[in-house]
Structure formats: C-alpha cells, structure tokens
Structure 1
Amino acid sequence: MIAALQAAPQGATAVFERYYKHPVNKVWAMLTDNALLAKWFPELRVQDLSAGGSMKFDMGNGHFEVMEIKDMIVNSILEYTWGNDRVRFELSPDGDCCRLLLIESITEITGHTAKDLSGWHVCLDVIGVLLDGRELNNRKQVWEQWYAEYTRLVADFRQG
C-alpha cells in the first residue's frame, strides 16, 4: 500500500504502514542488526544504538553521513535524522505479528522526494520478503514501478 503524504506545520509527513507475520523482536533486528540491515539497506549501518547515538550512511564515494539517533526504545521506536528530515520507525505487537509505521518528516518537498519515498516503500517490502525467507529478485524494476506512483502522489500533494 502506498504511503500517506500529508501537510505538516513544517513541510510534510509521509506515513508507511506494514504488517509483518513475525514478532516485533525479529522486525527490530532487521532495523538494528548490521548484518540484517545490510540485506535490505546496504549503505546504512548502526554506529551506536542509543538515543544520542548514530547511524552511518555510506555515500558510496568514500564519504559517510552520520545521522543522529533522536529517539530509541528497544523493540519499539527508532528515530534518526535523514539529511534535513527525520525517519521514525514505530513497532507494536499485533498478536503474533508486528505492525510497523515508518514516518518520514519532510522539511521540504523537492525533486528527490518521490525517489526517497519509493525507496522507503521498496525497503519495507524487502524487509517483509527477507523475514519470510525469500528474496526480491529485481529490486530496481520494483522501485521503478513505485517511483511512478510516488511521482504522482508528490505532484498531487504539490497541487494541493
């Protein structure tokens, strides 16, 4: 399901919702265990998993961006800076399953916003596929399909 994009006091908020047929601690591990994180977001690493700690993003050109962890509660909340924005993962049990909300606080809608949103969408799908013990074969093709959807979503948002 496509994210909800809504106006916020300073920019916009994109909210993704996923349900995984796995317990919260397994989903939490996908977000915080570097070996598992590398399977769905190879550029991202946990440097210090604590509020005030950091995530590290490999820009691919020998440079790394350090992103501060703003909020962290084990098996529940992980929020960190994402450039000028923030991403927040909220996990909650739903029976034997896990409900995940990814909330991206976007300070400014730019030409890159649709790319980021479609990227997060595919990442969340890949987490589910990996948790189920499968693989997503053509991630780029799936991203391109969602990019078209998010380009429309962002255009509609801009038009009000």
Structure 2
Amino acid sequence: MNPEKAEPTVTTTTVDGKPVLRFEMRYNFPVSVLWKHLTDPRKLKYWFPCELDLLPRKGAEVTFTFPGERPTKGAVLEAEKPHLLAYTWDREVLRWELAHDGDAGCLLTLSNTLQDQDAAGSSAAGWHFTLIGLDDLLNERPLGQNPADWERLVAHYQEKFSH
C-alpha cells in the first residue's frame, strides 16, 4: 500500500504582535499514533529536526540537541494528552494540536510563533519538510525530504509571506 503523499497547508497570522506560521496536515493515522510521535524521543529521533527530550507535562523541561552542539532548553507550556502539546524552543513557541479527522485519520495543526518575521521563509520550508518526513515515516516510505527542493521551498515561502 502506498498512500498518496500529503502536503501541509501553510498560512501566517500575527498574535500579540508576533508572526505565527500555521501548518495543517492530514495523516491517515489515529490521534493516539500521532501523539506518540510527538512525545516519545524514540520516535521523534526519526522525523524531528533534532534530538528532542520532553515529558508532556506542563512546566516540564524540554531539551533540544543538534549533533555537535550544546543542548538548548525549553519548557512545556501546555499538555493535554492526546490533543495538545505546546513548548518553547529558544524564543519561539511550538503548539501542536491533534484532532480526529474521519474514521481513523488525524488533522495535525502546528503553530510556530516566530521571534523574527524575516525567518518565516526558512522556518516554513523547514517545517514543511519535517511534516512530510513524519508522513513518510508513518507510511513506511523512504524520507522524501529532497535537499534539491530546499531553496525552491524557501523562496516560495519568502515570497508568500513577504509584506
């Protein structure tokens, strides 16, 4: 079985004067499966952009580790299993929402509150790749994150979100 590849839809808004990227992507897996992939470091390591260690509990510490770099810390702001997880990453906020969609499907909504509007193009391209990577992982396909698409995606999102 080779389900059709999904693509995220991406919009932008402003909350409290800060730019927010909003991604929506449908997955053909239940909320419980997506929740595990958002919270279990053994699953996160296959699709998240860095090593991520967290307990999905409000106030818990979050650790982000890129190879060869010092870990950075964040904090869990909200956690309501299995539908909502929000945490800080540097000076940004990531808010993951999961909703039942269809018989066994799930709608994932990621809101990324940015520190800097100028980062919107590269951030949107990065999360686009990441969300597609999660879909590929769940569907047991080779990761479709083609580096040749990176510059095209960054340019697309920079144009889309420029004011």
Fold equivalence (TM over 0.5): yes
3-state secondary structure, aligned to 2:46: helix
Aligned to 2:72: 65
2:81 corresponds to 1:74: yes
Contact 1:10 1:107 in 2 (8 A): no
Aligned to 2:99: 92
3-state secondary structure, aligned to 1:39: coil
Cα distance change, pair 77–154 in 1 and its aligned pair in 2 (3 A): same
Contact 1:122 1:142 in 2 (8 A): no
3-state secondary structure, aligned to 1:75: coil
Aligned to 1:106: 114
Structure 1 residues without counterparts, runs of 5 or longer: none
TM-score, structure 1 as length reference: 0.87
Contact 2:136 2:144 in 1 (8 A): no
Matched residue count: 155
| Off by >6 Å, runs of 4+ in structure 1 | none
Structure 1 or 2: larger helix share?
1
Q: Identity over aligned residues, as a percent?
A: 25
Structure 2 residues without counterparts, runs of 5 or longer: 1-7
Q: 1:33 aligns with which of 25, 29, 40?
A: 40
TM-score, structure 2 as length reference: 0.86
- Root-mean-square deviation (Å): 1.7
Distance 1:62 1:105 in 2: 23
